[in-house]
């Protein structure tokens, strides 16, 4: 009797859209933490393996190179074989790669190899999680739905940066944070497999259907704008801890804490911006948020006091690229779903390919600027300029859904 009731409760939980969205958010917390745990360790890895700034930045960039290059293929496979199945299979590979990074990386080649495999394994979760979200949440609440899922992305980014330095100081090894996050990833897979249901039937889409995306002027401009809008955020998150510790005299723990505040502050930012975009419109809100983000990045560079830097990082979290994420994702989802020509997993993968593209160039270019100038200040100026370019491009695309007359309720 108790067993039957437990199965019934489990089935109800799996069928509850809100519970499913929260579970996907938890999956993002672990997945992104296992990535950003690397960032505070970059100066330590550079010193131990005698690396230049560009070589050190390449460890982060190679992750994103594989992550981005496999977005569309993993999205297509997910639409054909099932979004949940493909996403979780690749999630296991991500966990194994992080474990290998912590246990086996004994030279620069292995650091690059395991970082690349981690990017490969992580590639399917964006298309899977947001594809499931877009098929489970009605258009008028997509801003809210994406806000719930993307809050896990922010929390994971901040958690990884925050705990990395703490674990390193406590255990005296840069390998320990990776091993701990790998164990968490395996538990996360088990939880996701139980609590998330697959949606829709596997689809067989012709590759030619992707051509429609690149024929639509609004979509193309929106995707390019997303590249520049998120580029600045990737630079801040990747090199922010190193910048604050080496050029602003902070300890590695404090530097990691300050940068982690960006992602923690973006959680309420996402929960406000996502639903608000359902009401005010995606375009107006995106441009407004990015405008504040420009001044926040400049503040991190120009303000020398720790209090001023603290306020700038919080402002960037509340109003910058991360807070704009659910708005832009919902905007692309609106456009894609209106066509019916591309599977939603593939659609989200195309969007993320563009949005994360800056993460390939940003770490290496910023490291190169550091090698040439001896400082990361120039890299932060380039990051601010990229947001300005994103704002200008977002003036072009049209809105794709009508604004709601009132704010949506809190349920997804």
How long is the chain? 412
Token readout for 228 is 């520049």
**Backbone φ/ψ region at 374: left (φ over 0), alpha (ψ -120 to 50), beta:** left
Helix and strand totals (H; E) in the chain: 18, 0
- Within 10 angstroms of residue 366's Cβ, the number of other Cβ atoms is 28
pLDDT of residue 396: 87
Contact in structure between 299 and 308 (CB atoms under 8 Å): yes
pLDDT of residue 334: 75
Using CA atoms, how far apart are residues 240 and 259, in angstroms rounded to an integer?
6
Three-state DSSP class for residue 285: helix
Token readout for 150 is 């993307």
- How far from the centroid of its chain's Cα atoms is residue 251's Cα? 26
pLDDT of residue 16: 82
pLDDT of residue 276: 81
Successive 10-residue mean pLDDT values, the chain, 412 residues: 47 69 94 91 90 85 86 82 91 96 95 95 89 80 80 85 88 94 95 82 53 72 88 86 87 83 82 78 86 92 90 90 79 69 69 79 85 91 94 82 49 43
Burial class (CB in 10 A: 0-12, 13-18, 19+), 247: middle
Using CA atoms, how far apart are residues 46 and 48, in angstroms rounded to an integer?
6
Using CA atoms, how far apart are residues 283 and 330, in angstroms rounded to an integer?
11
Q: Which CATH number fits domain 2-394: 1.10.287.130, 1.20.1250.20, 3.10.180.10, 1.50.10.10?
A: 1.20.1250.20
For CA atoms 399, 352, 275, 388, give the dihedral sign.
negative
Q: How many alpha carbons lie under 13 Å from residue 400 in its C-beta half-sphere?
A: 24
């Amino acid at each position: 009797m108790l067993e039957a009731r437990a199965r019934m409760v489990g089935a109800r939980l799996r069928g509850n859209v809100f519970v499913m969205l929260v579970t996907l958010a938890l999956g993002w917390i672990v997945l992104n933490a296992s990535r950003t745990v690397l960032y505070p360790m970059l100066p330590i890895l550079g010193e131990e393996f005698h690396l230049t700034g560009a070589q050190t930045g390449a460890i982060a960039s190679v992750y994103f190179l594989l992550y981005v290059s496999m977005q569309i293929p993993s999205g297509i496979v997910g639409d054909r074989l099932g979004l949940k199945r493909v996403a979780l299979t690749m999630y296991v590979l991500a966990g194994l790669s992080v474990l290998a990074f912590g246990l086996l990386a004994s030279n620069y080649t292995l650091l690059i190899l395991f970082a690349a495999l981690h990017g490969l394994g992580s590639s399917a979760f964006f298309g899977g999680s947001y594809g499931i979200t877009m098929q489970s949440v009605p258009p008028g609440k997509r801003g809210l739905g994406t806000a719930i899922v993307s809050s896990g992305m922010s929390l994971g980014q901040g958690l990884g940066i925050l705990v990395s330095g703490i674990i390193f100081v406590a255990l005296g090894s840069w390998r320990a944070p990776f091993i701990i996050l790998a164990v968490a990833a395996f538990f996360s897979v088990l939880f996701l497999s139980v609590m998330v249901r697959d949606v829709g039937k596997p689809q067989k889409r012709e590759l030619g259907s992707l051509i429609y995306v690149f024929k639509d002027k609004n979509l193309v401009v929106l995707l390019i704008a997303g590249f520049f809008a998120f580029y600045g955020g990737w630079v801040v998150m990747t090199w922010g801890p190193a910048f604050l510790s080496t050029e602003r005299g902070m300890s590695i723990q404090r530097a990691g804490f300050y940068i982690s505040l960006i992602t923690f502050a973006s959680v309420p930012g996402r929960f406000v911006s996502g639903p608000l975009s359902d009401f005010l419109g995606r375009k107006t809100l995106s441009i407004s948020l990015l405008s504040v983000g420009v001044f926040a990045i400049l503040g991190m560079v120009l303000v020398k006091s720790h209090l001023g830097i603290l306020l700038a990082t919080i402002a960037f979290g509340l109003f910058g690229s991360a807070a704009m994420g659910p708005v832009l994702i919902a905007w692309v989802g609106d456009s894609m779903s209106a066509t019916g020509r591309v599977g939603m997993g593939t659609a989200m993968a195309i969007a993320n390919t563009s949005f994360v593209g800056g993460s390939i160039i940003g770490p290496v270019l910023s490291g190169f600027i550091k090698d040439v100038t001896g400082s990361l200040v120039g890299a932060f100026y380039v990051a601010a300029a990229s947001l300005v370019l994103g704002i200008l491009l977002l003036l072009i695309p049209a809105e794709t859904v009508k604004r709601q007359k009132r704010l949506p309720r809190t349920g997804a």
